[in-house]
C-alpha cells in the first residue's frame, strides 16, 4: 500500500520503520538526521504534508499535541489539501477527543475517512511492535486500517466511533499517571522509613500491589534512571486533556487534578524532559 507517515519522533520513527520493513511504500515528511535511516531503508521523503497526502492512500499522523495535528491537517500545505475521495487519515497522536471529532467532520467533508488510534506502550512498545492501540472508527474503516495496526501493535481494540479511541487514551493516562504517583509515594515512604526500597519493591511484586508500573518504573525510581521513555511534559499534556474534559462533563476527578499540579511542579523544577517515573525524584527530595 501507499502510506504517508507524518511525525517521526521517538515513537513515530520505529512505527514508520515497521511499515517500511513490511514492504509498504511509505512517504515521509520532516525527515531529519534522527530519521534519515528510514529514507535509507526505503522510505520516500517529501517536502510537505500535502505532497504526502497526494501520494498516499492512507495517511498516518503521530504528533505531540492537538495544535500540531490541526496544523498538519489544515495548514497552508497540509494533509487536507492533498486528500481526495476514498483516502483515509489515521491519527495515532494523543489529543483532545472533542477536537478529534471536529477534525474528522472536516476531513469527511472532503470525501475521506478518519480514524483516531492513539497508542500506549512507549518507545519500548513502538520498537517491539507491541503497542496497545485504542481505536475510534466506523467498523469498515477499522478493518481497512487493521493490517497496518497489526504491524505496529498487539492489543488492538475498536472502542467505538471516532473520538472513542482518544477517550480511552485519556483514561489510560489517568490510570498510568496515578499509579506512577502511588508507586513513587510508596517507595519514597519506604526509603524515608529506613527500609531498602529495592527489597520493598521485591516484596510487593509478590502481592496485590504488583503491577507493570511497579515492575518497570519502580526499578527506574530505585536506580535513578530517568531517561525517557515517556516524558513528563507529554504526560502532563494528556492529564491536562483529562482535567479539561472533566470540566466540560461537570465531572469531579480530584486526584487527576492533584496529579496535574504535581506534574506542573515537575516541569517548574526542570524535569519535563525526563521519564514520567521521575515524579519520584520530587518526593525523594522532599
User: Of all helices (H) and strands (E), which one includes residue 143?
Assistant: helix 139-152
| CA-based nearest residue to 263, from 252, 251, 253, 274 | 274
Strand partners, 120: 132
In angstroms, the Cα distances linking 90 to 30, 105, 117, 210 are: 18, 14, 7, 35
Q: Grid coordinates representing 181?
A: 504517583
Tell me if residue 169 is catalytic: yes
| CA-based nearest residue to 30, from 74, 61, 67 | 61
DSSP category for residue 243: H
The residue from 2, 101, 154, 169 that is catalytic is 169
Rounded CA gap, 96 and 166, in Å? 7
Q: How many CB atoms lie within 10 A of CB 97?
A: 21
Q: Grid coordinates representing 13?
A: 520513527
Catalytic residues: 169
Amino acid at each position: 500500500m501507499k502510506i504517508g507517515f507524518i511525525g517521526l519522533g521517538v515513537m513515530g520513527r520505529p512505527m514508520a520503520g515497521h511499515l517500511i520493513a513490511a514492504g509498504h511504500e511509505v512517504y515521509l515528511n520532516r525527515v531529519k538526521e534522527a530519521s534519515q535511516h528510514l529514507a535509507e531503508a526505503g522510505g520516500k521523503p517529501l517536502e510537505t504534508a500535502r505532497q504526502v497526502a497526494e501520494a498516499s492512500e492512507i495517511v498516518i499522523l503521530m504528533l505531540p499535541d492537538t495544535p500540531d495535528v490541526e496544523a498538519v491537517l489544515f495548514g497552508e500545505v497540509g494533509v487536507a489539501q492533498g486528500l481526495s475521495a476514498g483516502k483515509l487519515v489515521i491519527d495515532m497522536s494523543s489529543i483532545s477527543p472533542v477536537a478529534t471529532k471536529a477534525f474528522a467532520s472536516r476531513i469527511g467533508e472532503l470525501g475521506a475517512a478518519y480514524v483516531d488510534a492513539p497508542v500506549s506502550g512507549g518507545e519500548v512498545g513502538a520498537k517491539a511492535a507491541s503497542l496497545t492501540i485504542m481505536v475510534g472508527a466506523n467498523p469498515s474503516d477499522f478493518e481497512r486500517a487493521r493490517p497496518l495496526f497489526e504491524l505496529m501493535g498487539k492489543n488492538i481494540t475498536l472502542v467505538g466511533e471516532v473520538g472513542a479511541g482518544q477517550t480511552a487514551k485519556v483514561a489510560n493516562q489517568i490510570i498510568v499517571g496515578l499509579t506512577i504517583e502511588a508507586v513513587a509515594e510508596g517507595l519514597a515512604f519506604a526509603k524515608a522509613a529506613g527500609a531498602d526500597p529495592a527489597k520493598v519493591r521485591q516484596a510487593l511484586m509478590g502481592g496485590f500491589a504488583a503491577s507493570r508500573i511497579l515492575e518497570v518504573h519502580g526499578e527506574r525510581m530505585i536506580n535513578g534512571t530517568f531517561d525517557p521513555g515517556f516524558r513528563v511534559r507529554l504526560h502532563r499534556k494528556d492529564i491536562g486533556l483529562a482535567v479539561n474534559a472533566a470540566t466540560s462533563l461537570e465531572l469531579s476527578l480530584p486526584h487527576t487534578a492533584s496529579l496535574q499540579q504535581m506534574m506542573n511542579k515537575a516541569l517548574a523544577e526542570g524535569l519535563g524532559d525526563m521519564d514520567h517515573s521521575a515524579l519520584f525524584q520530587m518526593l525523594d527530595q522532599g
